[in-house]
Structure 1
Amino acid sequence: MSGIVALEKWPVLGRHERAAGWLQVWCDLGRAPRMIDAYARGLAEYLEVCEREDVNSLVVTCAHIALYVRELAERPSRRGANVFSIDSGAGLANATVRQRMVPVRLFYDFLMEEGLRESNPVGRGRYTPGRQRGGQQRGLVPRLTKLPWIPSEQQWLEILQVAREEPVRNRLMLALAYDAALRREELCSLRTDDLDPAHRTLRVRAETTKNRLERVVPYSASTGVLMSAYLAHRATISRARGPLFLSESRRKHGQRLTLWTWAKVVRRIALAAGVPRFATHTTRHLCLTDLARMGWELHTSATFAGHRNTDSTLQYIHLSGRDLADKLTRGMEHIHVSRIQMLTAGESESAGGSR
């Protein structure tokens, strides 16, 4: 998304010269269109609140930012009530509020660099020597860390039952999304030359990943069968190299399948299976959790997932309960042995005395 398109979509940005300039900087730096759109939307929402409250966005204080956070916390979610704080039960989700604050914070960083402000009114977590708990100071909006949701075995079977009736393209995409723990954009951006059917691997190009880390991941023999069937089917649509997954609609026949189309496919499957929480990212969560359950080493799982930091991978180990289960088993074994020894101590002494 270019700066001009963003200004057309969010007119409030055009009424604030500094905001438009900040957005153009990000566009000139070549940031991803989806990131630009998210930043433009977040800043536009903030500036609209400033206009409504008759506040000059260039001279706001931390108190004004706190009022904006409160407005977000009380804003009804389109998906219904969500939990912003432990006891609220309403408002936007914690992660959504934090996401909305990112462009606001970056905007004031920009104003500081331009010499228009001396400080940033949006607090952020930072390391402070001497503080307890590792010296970490909490940011303006505290992070609520939740484990990813994954379906139960029965829910997964319901999803698979519905998916069996889907065209081969959709079945292959669902299989690859789970098999290789692919993000939605990574899956939809696959190209024919990313495949290595001989070794059953595929290349996830750096420009399609979230953190710009290229990786090569394997897929199973079962998915390989689906791959062969789909490639034969794809040849009836187009024999040209390029995007692997093609649209078969009349309007976009033969063009690359978009993220939104795939999201609609997954949503339709989820509703038909009676598992509305199932989404395009669920297969990735499920795969990484299953790998943790199987005992994969942490760094191996991080490399497979394309995580730059193993902290992201740790949540799936926590979700699997593997570490807790192992510790519980070891602890119970020790307790079990000690209890049995106590029960049999008298018998051992009696046996020694009889000799």
Structure 2
Amino acid sequence: MQLSAAIEAYLRELAEVRRLAPATVRAYRSDLADLVTAIGDLSPAEVDIEHLREWSWAGAQQGLARSTLARRTAAVRGLFRWATEEAIIPADPSLRLVTPKRGRTLPHVASTDALRIVLDDLAERASGGDAVGLRDSAVLELLYGAGLRVSELCGLDVDDLDPARRTARVLGKGSKERVVPYGGAAARAVEAYLVRGRPTLSARASDAGAALFLGTRGRRLGPRSVYDLVARTVGPVVGSAAVGPHALRHSAATHLLDGGADLRAVQELLGHASLGTTQIYTHVSSERLKETYRVAHPRA
């Protein structure tokens, strides 16, 4: 068996048995294909630590982000650990491969006042009854109100909402399902969209299906359209044209913690597997507190 064949078998294991997210499998496929390009399609037993170090070093020299280098290392370690467990190779050559330390940057966060202006402006535009305006208002209110990932929002069906309880059933990373609450503003925006906006959009396609949010052609709204909407409306208030839907998720988490929410509750809302992932928002809140102190305290 050559390295390329081993990689395909490993990726099938990740997708079909371990059920990793498709995006993760695609990223690992790209990383491991790059390894084959760099060292050649050797047999797995021929690959040694020097091959792996050279490949890792080449990635660093290309200026790849630390997070990308860390993921590449994880992909290779996973491959050779699996190959060892499957008795394809006698020993794991990746054990001594050092994982680059990941740099952690604080996420973009919009202030509550800035988001209120954006959301109120969208609600005012939607009041005219335009289907796209109604949809856009509901999209942003739900992204912020429930702290959703863009994939979770785009994957919602109408039946995933429970208007009486103001909750949504979402499918998160690793196909993990959770139920999240949303507030009154999101409830009003979604109801207005369902009554006056979605019927107009669904009439534009014969196969609109059960999708909650529809595009201008009547089919399920895609992540790209949501990115464009957020960049156009929220980007200016956080000072970045490259801001995406995650800025609303970051903002929701930070504002909850600023308001006294329990860290564990925020973890459950966001669907984080690890509390450590959620804790980055405590650093954001701390930085905001320090900035307020510097500006407002006479002895700062």
Q: Normalised by the size of structure 1, how large is the TM-score? A: 0.67
Distance 1:15 1:69, change over 3 A: closer
Q: 1:105 aligns with which of 38, 52, 77?
A: 77
Q: 1:322 to 1:303 in 2, by over 3 A?
A: farther
- The residue aligned with 2:219 is 255
RMSD over aligned Cα, in angstroms? 3.3
Indicate conservation of the 8 Å contact 1:46/1:68, yes or no.
Answer: yes
CA distance in 2, matches of 1:158, 1:67: 51
Q: How far did residue 107 of structure 1 move?
A: 1.5
1:184 aligned residue: 150
Work out the number of aligned pairs and report it: 277
1:231 aligns with 2:197: no
Alignment of 1:264-275 (within 5 A): 264-269=228-233, 275=240
1:316 CA drift (Å): 0.9
Aligned 1:154-173 pairs, distance under 5 A:
156=115, 167-173=133-139
Return closer, same or farther for 1:211/1:116 CA change in 2, 3 Å cut-off. closer
Instruction: Specify the SS of the correspondent of 2:169.
Output: strand
Task: Give the Cα separation in 2 of the matches to 1:297 and 1:162.
Answer: 31
**Highest RCO, 1 vs 2 (Cα 8 Å, sep ≥ 6):** 2
Structure 1 residue 148, shift from structure 2 partner: 2.5
**Cα distance, 1:161 vs structure 2:** 8.2
Cα distance in 2, alignment partners of residues 157 and 100 from structure 1: 40
Q: Compute the displacement of 1:58 (Å).
A: 4.1
Match status 1:28 vs 2:16:
yes
Question: Are the structure 2 counterparts of residues 47 and 186 from structure 1 closer, same or farther at C-alpha, using a change threshold of 3 Å?
Answer: same
2-structure distance, mates of 1:272, 1:94: 28
**1:15-60 alpha-carbon deviations (Å, 9 max, x no partner):** 8222222223334325443232222111112211123xx8766422
Q: Give 1:243's match in structure 2, choosing from 200, 203, 211.
A: 211
Are residues 1:216 and 2:216 paired?
no
**TM-score of the two chains, using structure 2 as the length reference:** 0.78
Task: State the distance in 1 between where 2:269 and 2:88 align.
Answer: 45
**What amino acid does structure 2 have at the position aligned with 1:306?**
G
1:276 has 2:244 as partner: no
Task: Give % identity.
Answer: 31
Tell me the CA shift for residue 113 of structure 1: 2.1
* 1:75-98 Cα distance to aligned partner (Å, 9 max, x none): 2xxxxxxxxxxxxxxx12111111
User: Residues 277 and 150 (structure 1 numbering): CA distance in 2 closer, same or farther, change over 3 Å?
Assistant: farther
Query: CA offset at residue 193 of structure 1?
Result: 0.9
Consecutive unaligned residues of structure 2, counting only runs of 5 or more, are 126-131
Call closer, same or farther: CA 1:225–1:74 in 2, change over 3 Å: same
More off after superposition, 274-283 vs 156-165: 156-165
Query: 1:305 aligned to 2:294?
Result: no
